[in-house]
Amino acid sequence: MDVIGIVISAGFVAFGMILSFPTKIYITFLLMKKEAHKRNILSKQLLLPTIDAPLFKKLSIN
């Protein structure tokens, strides 16, 4: 049962890898979504300064 045991164990390992692949993809998508959400919040807070409307009107040339 030496060779048969190796083949059976290799089959179980391959089956386990096939079942774990969709889980890895799902976790990757969750992490990418979380990172994009965090990046979106940070860009709104840090990179997009608000413009005071009355000050902006004073600076505009008519």
Return the closest-CA partner of residue 51 out of 62, 43, 59.
59
Give the range of the structural domain holding residue 35, as residue numbers without chain letter. Answer: 2-59
pLDDT on residue 41 = 78
Mind listing the pLDDT tens digit for each residue in 3-28? Answer: 999 999 999 999 999 999 999 999 99
Q: For the whole prediction, is pTM greater than 0.75?
A: no
**Average pLDDT score, the chain:** 79
What are the Cα distances from residue 15, in Å, to 2, 22, 45?
20, 12, 46
Q: What is the pLDDT of residue 43?
A: 73
**For the chain, what is the domain count?**
1
